[in-house]
């Protein structure tokens, strides 16, 4: 998720060129993502209720994967925009559910350690994944970056 959320900044020039829109338009994707994430996450989380955490995680992983697949195959800027909104709608609930799930399955003495690893994984993906994704985009193709995000998820879900 960390890579998917922040990679747009690293590949902004490639997206601008490919979709023939301004860098400001691509930058707006980051703003829209952040707004959707911030507004939708608490609302969605409140609506989850007592649904089993593993089912909630699976549901949001499917949506997140679909959003990244849609980004990888986006044919125009509007599809790209919709794909980022879909990804934002699923990222927040997925992250909060992952933390809750980790706390629920961990023994009391390992709970803090496991939760810290959930957040560490997110940070590591951001710190190392974004430069790697930018390199892939600059040297191969920006779409390959999103295929790289999508394919491992699809394997986990199968």
User: Could you tell me the two tokens for 28?
Assistant: 């707006």
What does the pLDDT average to over 25-42?
A: 95
Round to the nearest angstrom and report the end-to-end CA distance of the chain: 18
Task: Say what the pTM is.
Answer: 0.87
Please, which pLDDT band fits residue 158 given cuts at 50, 70 and 90? low
Look at 103 and 35; give whichever has higher pLDDT: 35
What would the pLDDT profile of 73-96 be if each residue is shown by its tens digit?
999 999 999 999 999 999 999 988
């Amino acid at each position: 998720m960390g890579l998917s959320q922040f990679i747009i900044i690293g590949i902004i020039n490639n997206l601008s060129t490919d979709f023939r829109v301004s860098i400001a338009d691509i930058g707006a994707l980051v703003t829209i993502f952040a707004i959707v994430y911030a507004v939708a996450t608490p609302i969605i989380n409140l609506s989850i209720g007592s649904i089993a955490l593993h089912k909630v995680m699976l549901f949001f992983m499917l949506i997140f994967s679909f959003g990244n697949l849609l980004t990888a195959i986006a044919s125009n800027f509007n599809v790209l925009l919709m794909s980022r909104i879909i990804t934002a709608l699923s990222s927040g609930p997925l992250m909060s559910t992952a933390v809750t799930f980790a706390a629920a399955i961990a023994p009391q003495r390992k709970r803090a350690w496991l939760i810290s690893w959930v957040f560490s994984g997110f940070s590591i993906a951001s710190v190392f994944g974004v430069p790697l994704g930018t390199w892939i985009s600059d040297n191969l193709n920006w779409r390959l970056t999103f295929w790289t995000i999508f394919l491992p998820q699809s394997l986990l879900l199968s």
